[in-house]
Amino acid sequence: MRSLGKYVIFMGSLFTRRETFNTYIRLITQECINVGYNSLFIVGIVSIFMGAVTTIQTAFNLVSPFIPDYVISLVVRDMAILELSPTIIAIIFAGKVGSSIAGELGTMRITEQIDALEVMGINASSYLVLPKVIACVIMYPMLVILSIFLILLGGYFAGTLTGILSSIDYLYGIRYEFIEFNITFAVIKALVFSFLIASISSYKGFFTTGGSLEVGKASTSAVTNSCIAVLLADYALAQLLMG
Amino acid sequence: MIKINNISKSFKGKQVLFDISGTFFKGKNNLIIGSSGTGKSVLLKNIVGLITPDLGDVKYNERSFINGSEQDRKQIRREIGMLFQGSALFDSKNIEENVKFPLDILTDFPEDEKIDRVNFCLERVGLVNINKKMPSEISGGMKKRVGIARAIVNKPNYLFCDEPNSGLDPQTGIKIDNLIKEITSEYLITTIIVTHDMNSVIEMGDHIMFLLEGKKLWEGTNDEITKSDLKELNDFVFATQLMKRMHLR
């Protein structure tokens, strides 16, 4: 409970003694490149293969001749939008960006760089953490949308090139009974997950004490806690918005 | 001038500083000395506001830093420059950006003016043509110099140095000490230096405060320090063979 209280106070401190608007624009742009652009490769690779594997495994399990082929791509589509892209990519995102945020802030803490900012009269939490949180909240939903597209693309190639289903069936399936709200749901999840990952990782890094060993522990702890928070939020959102 | 009144601080029930009062004078090198773990750095962090004392006050030219308004604290912070033990240069910024950083944040000078000021400060600390290097590409002594350049770039009224020559060879350490000494008299600022290096004490200790186990035991100048009768102080001052021999002469 004490950690939760400290986390809430830390979040509140992001919005006090702020710097100028232009300063934040510059920092947020830089962070968007760090967390978004630099994650494109890993998100792309993981998404394409998830799409391919999901298509093959769905086809393998749908053995009844009464189930039309286009159901395979329909299942892939709904899995991608509802779970694979927002949640599984969030776990990847926590591993890549969360550990990087915790490591960076932890190193800044133990090498007194955060103290140097405070001595200059800068609110270090607002200056360092707020741009990271905002950048994650901006970039992660975009990565999720991209991931959905790449999963469907990966599934398309795996399905059509191996002869599991035809191109026409695949495209018919991904359009069949499409529910627009699912995309809204995926974006809501992405917004919540990105906030959790960025804020928890920042919190873990910002309050690191000790030396390089503790920075490593903070990074690990950031990823573990972010993943748990994402999974809990995943369940809560599913219950709230779809239950 | 900086006055500290009855500063006390404890962490998790363990008291680290006990009722410390004193004055640090303008244009002088004010040293806080003592063995490792005696509370020197904690006292310095209380003075610059990185830690809030449990009791007591810190006054910068009669302006209260602890009990003053947020606006007062902001103004005082603009007048502070600090050199950290590990230099605390920002890893992601090059040397020029590191030194320019306080100007970017605290002033609205035109970019040309900022660059001129950065170059002036880097030259002042004896560094040229390193503007575009990263902190990881320069030596420990150079990092300290860059740290000093960053500390003085916004023309501070107060300069704080936490063990400025730790981790440096004796020659480089003396150069850093001399640089701080020159800057203090040149800009007529109040400088507070935390150190346990006796060479620094003898070289630059205009006014010295000796701490032991979180308590202030002695205050005086570098001339007086070797003549004191205080046993704890003598144990600290004459801990090395070199100091003992110098004293016997």
For chain A, the structural domain boundaries read: 2-242
CA distances to A119, B100, B103, B112, B114 from B109, rounded to whole Å, are: 21, 11, 7, 8, 6
Q: Is some CB atom of chain B closer than 8 A to the CB atom of A118? A: yes
- Asked if residue B216 and residue B109 are part of one domain, the reply reads no
Residue B180, token pair as written in the block = 């701080």
Question: Residue A198: which pLDDT band, with cuts at 50, 70 and 90?
Answer: very high
- Asked if residue B148 and residue B102 are part of one domain, the reply reads yes
Q: pLDDT for A72-125, tens place per residue?
A: 999 999 999 999 999 999 999 999 999 999 999 999 999 999 999 999 888 899
The residue written with tokens 């773990």 in the block is B37
- Asked if residue B56 and residue B132 are part of one domain, the reply reads no
- Of A237, A126, A140, the closest CA to residue A195 belongs to A140
pTM of the model: 0.87
Q: What is the mean pLDDT of residues B166-171?
A: 81
Chain A residue with the nearest C-alpha to that of B70: A17
Sequence length of chain A is: 243
Domain boundary among B155, B181, B211: B155
Whether residue B126 is predicted with pLDDT greater than 90 in this model: the reply is no
Q: pLDDT for B57-79, tens place per residue?
A: 999 988 888 888 888 888 888 89
Q: Report the C-alpha gap between B49 and A87 in whole angstroms.
A: 42
Residue A111, token pair as written in the block = 């090498």
Nearest Cβ partner of B88 from A23, A113, A121? A113
Provide the ipTM: 0.87
Q: Which residues partner with B192 through β-bridges?
A: B30, B160
The mean of the pLDDT values for chain A is 93
Outline where chain A has alpha helix (H): 2-13, 21-35, 40-61, 70-79, 89-93, 99-110, 113-119, 124, 130-161, 167-175, 180-206, 212-242
Domain boundary among B111, B126, B155: B155
- Asked if residue B38 and residue B16 are part of one domain, the reply reads yes
Chain B interface residues facing chain A, Cβ-Cβ under 8 Å? Answer: 45, 48-50, 70, 73-74, 77-78, 80, 82, 84-86, 88-91, 101-102, 105-106, 160
- Asked if residue B150 and residue B119 are part of one domain, the reply reads yes
Give pLDDT, residue B205. 85
- Asked if residue B139 and residue B37 are part of one domain, the reply reads no
Chain A: give the shortest CA distance to residue B143, in Å: 13
Q: Which domain holds residue B209?
A: 2-79+156-248
- Of A7, A2, A5, the closest CA to residue A205 belongs to A7
- Asked if residue B229 and residue B121 are part of one domain, the reply reads no
- Asked if residue B142 and residue B117 are part of one domain, the reply reads yes
Q: Report the C-alpha gap between B165 and A107 in whole angstroms.
A: 22
The number of distinct structural domains making up chain B is: 2
- Asked if residue B160 and residue B120 are part of one domain, the reply reads no
Q: Is some CB atom of chain B closer than 8 A to the CB atom of A13? A: no
- Asked if residue B127 and residue B42 are part of one domain, the reply reads no
Sequence length of chain B is: 249
- Asked if residue B172 and residue B240 are part of one domain, the reply reads yes
Helices A99-110 + A180-206 axis angle, to 10: 20
Residue B85 maps to a domain: no
- Of B135, B139, B123, B129, the closest CA to residue B97 belongs to B135
CB-based contact A107 B50, cutoff 8 Å: no
- Asked if residue B74 and residue B162 are part of one domain, the reply reads yes
Across A29-38, B88-97, B234-243, least confident range: B234-243
